[in-house]
Amino acid sequence: MHIMEGFLPPLHAAGWTVAAAPFVVVSARAVARLVQEKPQTKLLLAGSGAFALALSALKLPSLSGSCSHPTGVGLGSVLFGPVVMTLIGTLVLLFQALLLAHGGLTTLGANVFSMAIVGPWAAYGVFRLVRSVHGSVPIAVFLAATLGNLATYLTTSVQLSMAFPDATSGFAGALLKFVSVFAVTQIPLAVIEGMVTVVAVNLLLQHSRDELEILSWPYRPVR
């Protein structure tokens, strides 16, 4: 779902950058406050970033100018919340654009908006909702990571449809085409990401309980 360098029209690229910037600024302040108040969680924060970097680098060919891949942001979103994960996701995308030629600088704002803003908020919302209704941590984590991934791909589809509407059916026709093509690879990848994220959380519950307790994790169900 990383839109490649130079693929979006300049106005669209600039617009998504402006839209994403305030979220990144707020996230940077939240991360700084977290590190200052709870320095014991630094390794867990770095691990969440490494998890997102590793998974989102596993790309498969999909649409011209884009690709399908896991996002990896679900883990950090359920641990730290979506605000913190925005900066982590932005750094992941920047690193990939500069060193892996995955994504791009002109399209960084669009990619940040889909993978580092919409994805984490969707994952966090699903996690809290499932925890409040069902209470099961594994199910909540699985659905959060899976649906957070799909929310990212839907956002990318919207971004591409706005930039490249269909000649006859306009935005709606383009959106249907983009969603349909993405779905072939993205739905299986989203399910796999959900399962991998559950495994990661189970390992953390076994080996990093002290850090998780500092974060008051897992969150209690909302009543």
User: What's residue 17's pLDDT?
Assistant: 97
User: What's residue 183's pLDDT?
Assistant: 84
Closest alpha carbon to 197 in 10, 30, 66, 47:
47
User: What's residue 223's pLDDT?
Assistant: 34
User: What's residue 9's pLDDT?
Assistant: 95
**For residue 5, is it within any domain?**
no
**For residue 71, is it within any domain?**
yes
State both tokens at 71. Answer: 């996002």
**For residue 152, is it within any domain?**
yes
Residue whose tokens read 């799909």: 150
**For residue 171, is it within any domain?**
yes
**For residue 63, is it within any domain?**
yes
Taking only the tens of pLDDT, the chain with its 223 residues reads 688 898 999 999 999 999 999 999 999 999 999 999 999 999 999 999 999 999 988 877 666 666 778 999 999 999 999 999 999 999 999 999 998 888 889 999 999 999 999 999 999 999 999 998 877 899 999 999 999 999 999 999 999 999 999 988 999 999 998 898 888 888 999 999 999 999 999 999 888 888 898 888 876 443 3
User: What's residue 106's pLDDT?
Assistant: 94
Our count of domains for the chain comes to: 1
**Domain hosting residue 160, numbered range:** 10-214
CATH of the domain at 93: 1.10.1760.20
User: What's residue 152's pLDDT?
Assistant: 94
**For residue 3, is it within any domain?**
no
**For residue 4, is it within any domain?**
no
**SS3 of 131-143:** HHHCCCHHHHHHH
pTM of the entire predicted model:
0.92
**For residue 221, is it within any domain?**
no
